[in-house]
Amino acid sequence: MRILLLLLIISSSAVAQNVQKEINEQVWKPFIKGFNEGNTLLFMNVHSKDLVRSSRDSKQVLTWDQYNKQTEDWNSRRTASYNIVLRFTERINNDSQAIDVGIYQTSWSAPDGKKGVSYGRFHVVLRKEDSTWKILVDTDSREGGTIGEQQFLAATPME
């Protein structure tokens, strides 16, 4: 009986890791690339059309259309180069739904040489739509500046 339980646990862990790799390939890698390159189409393509987006710091809740417009506007005005890195504190999933929680680090470099780094926590709910993972709910916050390099480095890197 113990061997059967152990095999079940190992099997569940392997399935969870496979789902996380699939999510990384279908969502997080294009998300990062789209964000860093200012590519609105690539960035928004990983989001469900049923998206609920909230930057909790700005106290807004946006639909996919509103978030797409906001992203287009921001990308058309940005002059700095950006690099976002995601690390995870919690990843829960089954074969069609997932929750990813983590810390992001966004660094930027302006044409005048100014540079900066900011950190925040994200909570994302994903679901599989027509065999492809999409972000359904996306919230983030800098939590009053209490998130920093220490929390970022303590989180698990994306594999």
Strands (E), 10-151: 47-55, 81-93, 97-109, 115-129, 132-141
Domain ranges of the chain: 2-157
pTM: 0.88
| Residue 102 near residue 119, CB atoms below 8 Å | no
Q: How far from 66 is each of 25, 54, 73, 99, CA to CA, in Å?
A: 26, 11, 11, 23
User: SS3 of 68, please?
Assistant: helix
Q: How far from 80 is each of 29, 50, 52, 83, 124, CA to CA, in Å?
A: 21, 30, 27, 10, 26
pLDDT tens, residue by residue, 81-132: 999 999 999 999 999 999 999 999 999 999 999 999 999 999 999 999 999 9
- Under DSSP, the state recorded for 158 is P
Multiple choice CATH, 2-157, 3.30.365.10, 3.90.1150.10, 3.10.450.50, 3.40.50.720: 3.10.450.50
